[in-house]
Amino acid sequence: MVELKKGRASDNVVGQVQRYMGFIMEEYADPGQTVKGVIIALEDDPRMQWALKVTQGISFYKYHISFQLFKA
């Protein structure tokens, strides 16, 4: 399960991902199958990092976007 945020990810996104993971486990996963979550955002928040320290199965990644403009 992947949750992509366009800006900063706050601690409430951890609960959001947990709810999605629980739904996937209940409705789609086979018995014993592992469900993992990924949060991707431009920036993180210290409160989110604290929540992730006591949460299993959810990883966090930051993204960086850059582009160059060239005169044609």
Stretch 24-39: mean pLDDT: 96
Q: Report which residue type is found at 12.
A: N
Map out the domains of the chain with their CATH numbers. Answer: 2-62 (3.40.1350.10)
pLDDT band at 22 (very low <50, low <70, confident <90, very high): very high
Reported pTM: 0.87
Residue 66, classified by CB atoms within 10 Å of its CB into exposed (0-12), middle (13-18) or buried (19+), is exposed
Question: According to the model, what pLDDT value does residue 32 have?
Answer: 93
Other CB atoms within a 10 A radius of the CB of residue 38 amount to 14
Question: According to the model, what pLDDT value does residue 17 have?
Answer: 98
